[in-house]
């Protein structure tokens, strides 16, 4: 049973709610050129930064549980850390350690997938995001598993690659495919038939999330499982041809199937094993359901092969999905929501589909459902199924409608929301659209500020990581990379700090106007508890307020 929080003696809370706004993908840029946050017209955010207590928080690397400070933060780990108030080792670090120690290969899940293939002389398939972005997956993990499978006696391996261009360079696919083909050639020289079998852009096939667009998963299923689709002799030929024909960046390239004389080289058959090698859960759940669920209704799977399926990690601990996984996820416990529910705090959480799971599932330590249905309301605003650069305002107005109504209703003590624009639009690489996305969030902030002022609440503005603040690739000297006379677009997250702003219109000077510096986004949980009138648990990272 969760222990009760102590009442703060130095701060009694306000008459209105504490409102936490997470501006996804909005950080402080390092370079003036390419910072769509700085160049956007954003009078509300500028005014908040100029007049309210604020500080900068770390949102990447070890501050969010990733292996090194060279690793960009992401929405999954960002919301984990914001919601639990401490830093846990996250997926990338846990998988790397499990491989290095050999623990992964000693586990029953690995023995199941490799042993099944050896016993039946069948095929071991690897499916996942094909890059070293270290946000959803890492190629080092894939290589290590392929090497071990060959050592274990697996004779046939097929790899189904989801091109990135989002957590890495937008047209960097061949930088990964070419050396990987050389790696596979070495595996074949050792007696294991290892080949790339299919692929496509991550935003076109397979990696949907939150049920936003099941047609992506259906396209992936047909491509990887049935070998249906346009055929090419190699992944390189597919990428070069599709890029030339469509001008699309990697994440949006169409599906392709590798074939010999018209026959796909790697369809998934009865008796095979499949490893989905993404460690991050949000974009793994839907394809996992297609493989595992008997009563699956999202699309017609046609022939459903009977396989031994495993995920890199457990993607949903409450639902036990997948049934078999190679590495145990972080055991995130004693999350802030549990403490607030124990104190009877009434909570509203809201975002649109693209980030709804982040402000609920990930915020709650990778747990589905509510902590206390009597105290919590979760609202999902359905996202548009269009390229984000075409409607960069996304569902900002609708999210704000829910939040403002919640503030004015008097029903809630704590309200949290996520505006996805800075991240989802930033990933497109379209600078003007990213600016518009930030400007939309700024308009929404203005409406929320007025509601907070009217009700005597407190507003906390922050972000889970940067993105729109770093839209161009830069050289070490700070200049923009130019290719063919054009500025090279960056679609990945940034390593930049993010804001933490406290807008407290009824402040009586209970805390110092100078907020703590040098903290990470794990400070947000304690900060919100303090503003609600409670001391944070002793093992939580400190909040930004000093008194």
Torsion angle, alpha carbons of 484, 487, 488, 489, to 10:
-140
336 in active site: no
pLDDT more than 90, % of the chain? 91
Whole-number pLDDT of residue 519:
98
Q: In this predicted structure, what is the pLDDT of residue 487?
A: 93
Question: What is the set of domains in the chain, with CATH numbers?
Answer: 18-88+332-531 (3.40.720.10), 92-327 (3.40.1450.10)
pLDDT beyond 80 at 165: yes
| Phi, psi dihedrals of residue 170, rounded to the nearest 5° | -65, -20
pLDDT of residue 484: 87
Average pLDDT estimate for 266-270: 98
Residue 411 CB partners (closer than 8 Å, separation 6+): 346, 348
Output the pLDDT for position 407.
98
Query: What value does the mean pLDDT take over residues 96-122?
Result: 97
Find the mean pLDDT for residues 204-210: 94
Q: Is the pLDDT of residue 318 over 80?
A: no
**321 upstream amide cis, omega within 30 of 0:** no
Whole-angstrom distance, CA of residue 88 vs CA of residue 100 = 19
pLDDT grade, residue 328 (50/70/90)? Answer: confident
The confidence score (pLDDT) of residue 495 equals: 95
Q: Which residues contact 29 (CB under 8 A, 6 or more apart)?
A: 35, 37, 38, 466, 469, 470, 494, 496
Residue 372: pLDDT band with limits 50, 70, 90: very high
Per the CB < 8 A criterion, the answer to whether 277 and 145 are in contact is yes
Identify the pLDDT of residue 319.
79
Model pTM above 0.85: no
| Apex 81 CA angle, 78 and 84, nearest 5 | 145
Taking phi over 0 as left and psi of -120 to 50 as alpha, with beta for the rest, 488 belongs to beta
Helices (DSSP H) in 343-466: which residue ranges? 353-357, 396-409, 421-424, 431-455
Predicted confidence (pLDDT) per residue in 237-246, tens digit: 999 999 999 9
Residues 6+ apart with CB under 8 A from 51: none
Average pLDDT score, the chain = 96
Region 470-480 average pLDDT = 93
For the stretch 238-252, what's the b/e string if a residue is b when 16 or more beta carbons lie within 10 angstroms of its beta carbon? bbeebbeeeebbbbb
When pLDDT is averaged across residues 324-330 and rounded to a whole number, the result is 91
What is the C-alpha to C-alpha distance for residues 49 and 33, in angstroms, rounded to an integer?
21
Q: What is the pLDDT of residue 283?
A: 93
Least confident among 308-322, 334-348, 514-528: 308-322
The whole-number pLDDT of residue 238 equals: 98
**Per annotation, catalytic residue among 75, 131, 273, 522:** 75
Rg (CA), the chain: 24
Give residue 67's pLDDT: 84
Q: Give how far Cα 209 sits from Cα of 63, 355, 383, 465, Å.
A: 25, 9, 11, 19
Res. 214 pLDDT band, cuts 50 70 90: very high
Question: Which distant-in-sequence residues (6+ apart) come within 8 Å of 100 by Cβ?
Answer: none
pLDDT one-digit tens code per residue, 117-164: 999 999 999 999 999 999 899 999 999 999 999 999 999 999 999 999
Q: Looking at the chain, how many residues does it have?
A: 547
Beta-strand relationship, 124-129 and 156-163: parallel
């Amino acid at each position: 049973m969760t222990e009760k929080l102590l009442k703060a003696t130095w701060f009694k809370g306000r008459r209105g709610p504490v409102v936490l706004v997470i501006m996804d993908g909005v950080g402080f840029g390092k370079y003036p050129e390419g910072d769509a946050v700085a160049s956007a017209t954003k009078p509300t955010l500028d005014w908040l930064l100029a007049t309210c207590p604020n500080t900068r928080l770390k949102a990447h690397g070890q501050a969010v549980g990733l292996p090194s400070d060279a690793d960009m933060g992401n929405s999954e780990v960002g919301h984990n850390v914001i919601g639990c108030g401490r830093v846990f080792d996250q997926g990338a670090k846990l998988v790397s350690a499990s491989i290095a120690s050999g623990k992964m290969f000693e586990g029953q899940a690995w023995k199941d997938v490799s042993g099944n293939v050896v016993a039946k002389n069948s095929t071991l398939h690897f499916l996942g995001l094909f890059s070293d972005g270290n946000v959803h997956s890492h190629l080092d993990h894939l290589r290590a598993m392929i090497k071990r499978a060959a050592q274990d006696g697996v004779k046939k391996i097929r790899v189904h690659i989801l091109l990135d261009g989002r957590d890495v360079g937008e047209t960097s696919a061949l930088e990964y495919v070419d050396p990987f083909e050389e790696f596979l050639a070495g595996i074949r020289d050792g007696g294991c038939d290892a080949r790339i079998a299919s692929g496509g852009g991550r935003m076109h096939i397979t990696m949907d999330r939150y049920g936003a667009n099941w047609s992506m998963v259906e396209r992936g299923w047909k491509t990887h499982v049935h070998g249906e689709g346009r055929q090419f002799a190699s992944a390189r030929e597919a990428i070069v041809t599709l890029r030339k024909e469509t001008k699309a960046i990697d994440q949006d390239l169409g599906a392709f199937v590798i074939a010999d004389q018209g026959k796909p080289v790697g369809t998934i058959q009865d008796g095979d094993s499949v490893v989905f090698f993404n460690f991050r859960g949000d974009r793994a759940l839907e394809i996992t359901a297609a493989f595992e669920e008997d009563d699956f209704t999202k699309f017609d799977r046609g022939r459903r092969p009977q396989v031994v399926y495993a995920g890199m990690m457990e993607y949903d601990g409450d639902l036990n999905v997948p049934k078999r996984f190679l590495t145990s996820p972080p055991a995130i416990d004693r999350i802030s929501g549990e403490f607030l529910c124990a104190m009877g705090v009434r909570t509203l959480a809201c975002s649109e589909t693209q980030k709804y799971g982040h402000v609920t599932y990930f915020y709650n330590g990778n747990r589905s459902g509510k902590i206390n249905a009597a105290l919590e309301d979760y609202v999902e605003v359905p996202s548009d199924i269009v390229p984000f650069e075409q409607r960069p305002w996304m569902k900002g107005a609708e999210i704000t409608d829910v939040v403002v109504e919640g503030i004015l209703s008097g029903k809630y003590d704590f309200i949290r929301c996520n505006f996805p624009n800075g991240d989802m639009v930033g990933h497109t690489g379209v600078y003007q659209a990213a600016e518009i996305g930030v400007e939309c969030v700024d308009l929404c902030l203005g409406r929320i500020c007025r509601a907070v002022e009217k009700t005597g609440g407190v507003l906390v503005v922050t972000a889970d990581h940067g993105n729109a603040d770093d839209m161009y690739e830069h050289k070490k000297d700070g200049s923009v990379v130019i290719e063919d006379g054009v500025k090279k677009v960056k679609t990945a997250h940034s390593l930049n700090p993010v804001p933490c702003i406290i807008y407290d219109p009824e402040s009586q000077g209970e805390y110092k106007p100078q907020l703590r510096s040098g903290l990470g986004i794990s400070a947000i949980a304690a900060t919100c508890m303090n503003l609600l009138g409670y001391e944070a648990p002793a093992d939580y990272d400190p909040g930004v307020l000093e008194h």
